[in-house]
Amino acid sequence: MRFGVCTWIFGDMPLDRIADTVARIGYDGLELMGDLQAHRPDAIRAICRQTGLAVLSLTPENVDLAHPDAAIRRSALDHYRRLIDFAHDIGCPIVSCHGAVGRVRAVASQAEEYGYLLGGVAALAPHAAEAGVRIAMEVLNRYESHLLNTAAQAVEFVQAVAHPSVGILLDAYHMNIEEPNPAQAVEHAGGRLFLFHVADSNRAGLGLGHTDFPALAAALKRIGYVGDIIVECTASGPDPFTPVKGEGWREQLGEYLRHSREYLQQHFA
């Protein structure tokens, strides 16, 4: 099991500095924000060689596979296809996928947009398989997305896609909001769980909120999870999606990441 960190939580810090920070703390890899304009495969590979890190997963730009406008859906599909190709080029095993973050209600109907998401992912699955990449459907809370808010919904979705390249990404922070029993949610995902994100209930470092991480770690062991764990905590501030939060936020984030690395070693290794 490898431990990594999402890069978006560092804001506009250059990637080489992010990688150096993450490596010095003792993490194994990165979940890279899928900005295809900002990153070149050769540069990513060079950073990985210099730091000893791996790119464990890619997260997409905020595109919308479920929008009723066909042109918007086509653009989203194109982004995901290019992201899958990029993942293949840098040896990254997983691309995450979710509804548009910040769109919390349907433009058309819930059923129609669920169908669009299902069709889009089903269309991407063979391309991912050919590239040797897996797609992990990220389960977000209701305040960030109106699609796939619980593990049970994600299991139903993945079963409907019915392709071995498509699985589930659960996040302890989102489960803290949506799941009555997060450990049971992990067990329900079972072998379909491709990736696991962690931040505490307040999105701070692990052990600094009220999430029962020992129960989650035990559930992961029960299902035989051998995938990666990605830390996605954020510094405190008024906007959880904007990392620049004033004086001292980088220092606070660094402390969260150091604390989380020790906590992961203690409870999840």
Residue 26 near residue 254, CB atoms below 8 Å:
no
> Looking at residue 207, what DSSP letter applies?
T
Other C-beta atoms within 10 Å of 1: how many? 13
- Give the pLDDT confidence of 143-179 residue by residue, as tens digits: 999 999 999 999 999 999 999 999 999 999 999 999 9
* 12 burial level (CB within 10 Å; 0-12, 13-18, 19+): exposed
- Which of 31, 138, 144, 178 is catalytic? The answer is 138
H-type helices in 32-181, by residue range?
41-51, 70-90, 110-131, 151-161, 172-178
Other C-beta atoms within 10 Å of 71: how many? 8
Question: What span, in angstroms and rounded, lies between the C-alpha atoms of 243 and 11?
Answer: 5
Q: Is 232 a catalytic residue?
A: yes
Q: Which two tokens stand for residue 3?
A: 């431990």
Question: What span, in angstroms and rounded, lies between the C-alpha atoms of 89 and 184?
Answer: 36
Other C-beta atoms within 10 Å of 153: how many? 16
Please give the average per-residue pLDDT across 240-262, as a whole number.
86
Backbone angles phi, psi at 178, to 5 degrees: -100, -25
- pTM attached to this predicted model: 0.96
- pLDDT bin (cut points 50, 70, 90) of residue 244 is low
Q: Is 187 a catalytic residue?
A: no
- Residue 68's domain is classified under what CATH number? 3.20.20.150
- Which of 113, 178, 179, 232 is catalytic? The answer is 232
Range of the domain at 211: 3-267
State residue 242's pLDDT score: 74
Residue-averaged pLDDT of the chain:
95
Confidence check: pLDDT of 117 > 90: yes
**3-class secondary structure per residue, 103-120:** ECCCCCCHHHHHHHHHHH
Paired sense of beta strands 54-59 and 29-33, if any = parallel
State residue 250's pLDDT score: 86
Per the structure, how many domains does the chain have? 1
Confidence check: pLDDT of 241 > 80: no
Confidence check: pLDDT of 237 > 90: no
Distances 136 to 78, 121, 169, 235 between C-alpha atoms, Å: 17, 10, 5, 26
